[in-house]
Amino acid sequence: MVFNTGAALLDAIVLAVVSREPEGTYGYRITQEVRQVIDLSESTLYPVLRRLQRDDCLEVYDREFGGRNRRYYRLTPRGDAQLKLYRAEWERYSEKISGMFEGGRDV
């Protein structure tokens, strides 16, 4: 993708991916789903997950899988509220950008 992905957009995408599973999902799966829309390395994703956890948007727990613990991430109420804010902002932002690309209709 030729457009830069800022921290807020990356946070929004990660929160959206995690929100799909009420019981949460694990880091590798989050990486794979995020990579469907943007080019991202695991070394980029895990600091984002830690920051969202520190900001009380995600809670973390471990679950046994195949004899090992797998770290899961799930939205907190604050994370859900933040995701709703991001969605509303994205709606307004994308409408304005689309309007510019479509010939300058009123934005």
37-86 pLDDT per residue, tens: 888 888 889 999 999 999 999 999 999 888 899 999 999 999 999 999 99
Percent of the residues in the chain that have a pLDDT greater than 70, as a whole number: 93
- The C-alpha atoms of residue 80 and residue 94 are separated, in whole angstroms, by 21
Query: 91: pLDDT confidence band, cut at 50, 70 and 90?
Result: very high
Could you tell me the pLDDT band of residue 1, with boundaries at 50, 70 and 90? low
DSSP 4-37: ---HHHHHHHHHHHHHTSTT-EEHHHHHHHHTTT
Q: What is the pLDDT of residue 105?
A: 57
How many beta carbons lie within 10 A of that of residue 26, not counting itself?
15
Can you give the pLDDT at residue 41?
A: 82
Domains of the chain: 7-94 (1.10.10.10)
